[in-house]
Amino acid sequence: MQSPARRLVLAIAAVALSVTTLAQPAEARTHHRARAPSFLQFTSQPKYAAIVIDAKTGEVLYEQSPDAHRYPASITKIMTMYLAFEQLSTGRLSLNDAMVVSPHAAAMAPSKLGIRQGGTISVGDAMSAIAVKSANDMAVAMAEKMGGSESHFAEMMTAKAKQLGMNNTQFVNASGLPDNRQLSTARDISILSRAVLRDYPQYYSYFSKREFTWKGQTTRNHNHLLGQMPGVDGIKTGFTNASGFNLAASAVRDNRRLIAVVMGGSSTAARDSHVVDLLEAGFTVMRRREAGQQTTVAQNLREPAPVGSVDRPPVEQGDGEQDGVHIVVDGKAPKAAVAKMTAKAAPADQMFCKRVRGRHHKHVTKCVKLAANDAVPGKAQATAAAKTDAAAGGDWQVQLGAYKNSALARQQLATLNTKFARELAASQGRVEHASGNYRVRFAGLSADQAKDACASIKSQGQDCMALRP
């Protein structure tokens, strides 16, 4: 007897297939459709701007509209924290100093810690709440502590921005809550992020915290790449309706550190995926340069269309991160009929669906549900799945990584499934648990398909093993 979750997945797949098939011309139904690289689709968003820099030298490795004015949203708080770090380093501020929450601070919109006016909190706890929870009330309380008033502190922020070379930035508040006068650019945010790393490395760890606990309630960092993408250790997300989804992220590998800033994303998932791609491409460029190859980030961004998603509307201004049901069908968000059906799914569920080539080169839609509380397929399940895949196409697999953490493996499954969709179009991805590792594998391939897929994937800097039956 099928479980409710299984029936839901099958129903979604059926509706997605019918919707996708009806929407395609006849030729597209019989041949795998060529798709433009995702960075081209992502960069077509009107609010989009991005930059990737070498944190050590400041060299720009990639840029798109880097000097166009954008609303920074809660990325604003990087400057609030920078000025706090400055005062901590000079002794004007102490981590143990008590701050009194004013009526103005207490009245801030979420995201917030929720301390009532007259309540107190230490500077150290307030900074953790700002970095992890993106608490608007704590950002204002910090501003009043350091500047006397938020408006005066905003003047201090703008002055510091000019001093750092952020010539296209103006601040009018300390939180990033909506104000059309508060403007910055992707380049300026990268300058600020680099300044934090350069000037106050002793305090940078605030941006690396994965969670913050206050009065028994634990909040996870809105920066989902922490602990998910190897090497990422900061720095800050942001969202308002006007800004779209923003993220300044920094990662280090092999003693190389990169900073990527993406502004104006259409969803949390799309933004995070794009930042991952930019950083991965950046590290590939750095590695290939050392081998004497001449290449660019743009040349390494060869991934297909980004993951579309059905996200619940964010409710928190300044840093409204979304935790909802995510669905993708062939790189596109599904139609309303499919979206409506997902309302019955668990909030933590993620369902990734794609049209793949099955028997006799016919296309079918397969869906994989990735839920936080799902069990990773065991040996028996993996064997049964392999038999299904063999019937559909072949019994070869490719492995694209092995991880100690199941959550990281699932995240990488989704990322790699999207990035190499063209190479893996005839396969079905899954995570297998064996010998203490969580292996990201794609099954259902013929010998030639597996070998050709790995050859193409390896040429793009990703490890790949073709596994015979």
- Active site (catalytic) residues: 74, 77, 134
CB within 8 Å of 89: residues ≥ 6 apart: 200, 202, 203
Cα separation, 264 vs 238, in Å, equals 10
Contact 132/234 with Cβ under 8 angstroms? no
* Sheet-wide strand order for 244-253: 60-64, 49-54, 256-265, 244-253, 232-240
Cα separation, 192 vs 77, in Å, equals 11
Q: Quick one: tokens of 240?
A: 């308002």
Cα separation, 93 vs 91, in Å, equals 5
One DSSP character per residue, 412-443 reads HHHHHHHHTTTTTTT-EEEEEEETTEEEEEEE
How many CB atoms are located within 10 Å of the residue 149 CB? 13
Cross-strand partners of 239: 245, 318
CA dihedral over 82, 85, 87, 89, signed as positive or negative: negative
How many CB atoms are located within 10 Å of the residue 469 CB? 9
Contact 129/214 with Cβ under 8 angstroms? yes
